[in-house]
Amino acid sequence: MSLRFQRLLLILFTLIIIFSAVLLILYNTRENVSYFYTPSEINKSDIKINKIIRIGGFVENDSFKKISSSSFEFRITDEKASILVTFNGILPDLFREGQGAVIEGMFVNNDVFNANDVFAKHDENYMPASIKEGLKDTGYWNKKYK
């Protein structure tokens, strides 16, 4: 075997190993990636019952019910559709009605989503209390900022 042929075999073998590693990484990532759906997207698609997915939206106003000390029921909405969610566990501190949330769990039937995890979303708009009070005093405070 000539030196040129050995180099060609080495390069070819290396490319095959790298290509196989990339395919293996992409395949495993596909199995573990979890995107979230909005309630209106779920109504349009055919999500399977007992398949773990994530739902993102806002907690609908006047829908939160505390069933027991660690059991809750509420609705997630995107202003077009809403989904009834049941959750057993401890809710995050930022969780409240009108606030964004991402819920991970599965449908137990076509109408009820059983949540395993609840993630509260918050906005990135931080404002120190002194500036907030100054804006309220001058009348420039917008009520959508809480």
- Residue 75 φ/ψ, nearest 5 degrees: -115, 140
Q: Is 119 helix (H, G, I), strand (E, B) or coil?
A: strand
- Above 90 in pLDDT, residue 72? yes
How many beta carbons lie within 10 A of that of residue 36, not counting itself? 14
Are 37 and 78 in contact by the 8 Å Cβ rule? The answer is no
Are 104 and 120 in contact by the 8 Å Cβ rule? The answer is no
Per-residue pLDDT at 145: 47
Cα torsion angle, 122, 125, 131, 134, sign:
negative
- Above 90 in pLDDT, residue 133? no
The Cα–Cα gap between 69 and 118 comes to 16
Right CATH for 36-120 from 3.40.50.720, 2.40.50.140, 3.40.50.40, 3.30.1330.10: 2.40.50.140
Per-residue pLDDT at 139: 63
The Cα–Cα gap between 11 and 135 comes to 66
Per-residue pLDDT at 126: 60
Per-residue pLDDT at 131: 67
Residue with tokens 């490319």: 15
